Amino acid sequence: MVQETVETTDKVSIRFNNDGLVPAIVQDADSGRVLMMAWMNDQALRQTLETRKATFYSRSRGKVWVKGESSGHVQQVMEVLVDCDQDTLLLRCNAQGPACHAGYQTCFYRANDGNRLQVVEPQVFDPAKVYGAGD
């Protein structure tokens, strides 16, 4: 028999890790397909909620960035879901273009058979043309 659980709080208490970050999974709102995973700090989360544009924290650049600010591939946030432990976010988005900076519709374009990675999706744009040769 499945026991019903009842929420005991509606208080938002996002559990950021020791670096002040929380993982955010981005999902296409229509298809349910997972597009990418990125990190958010408190500022990125607040900006996402205010603007409804997916905004993340870049660990390599050490700054907040809006998805699509360079490529034009903006992710319009329809809903932000919080997992049961409040330590992971799910952003349900309407994507205006591909999600992956490597030129694929989703960042999960390779399959792992245990020995090697195999590309299983077509590349939909040339990153050098979108971001320049340096990216």
pLDDT digits (tens, 9 = 90+) for 84-119: 999 999 999 999 999 999 999 999 999 999 999 999
Q: What is the DSSP letter of 2?
A: P
| Amino acid at residue number 122 | P
Q: Is the pTM of this model over 0.85?
A: yes
CB 100 within 8 A of CB 106: yes
The domain spans of the chain are 22-97
**What pLDDT is stored for residue 5 in this prediction?**
62
pLDDT digits (tens, 9 = 90+) for 54-82: 999 999 999 999 999 999 999 999 999 99
CATH assignment of 22-97? 3.10.20.810
Residues 70, 31: Cα–Cα separation, whole Å: 25
**What pLDDT is stored for residue 1 in this prediction?**
62
In sequence order, what E strands does the chain have? 22-28, 34-40, 55-58, 63-66, 75-82, 89-95, 110-112, 117-119
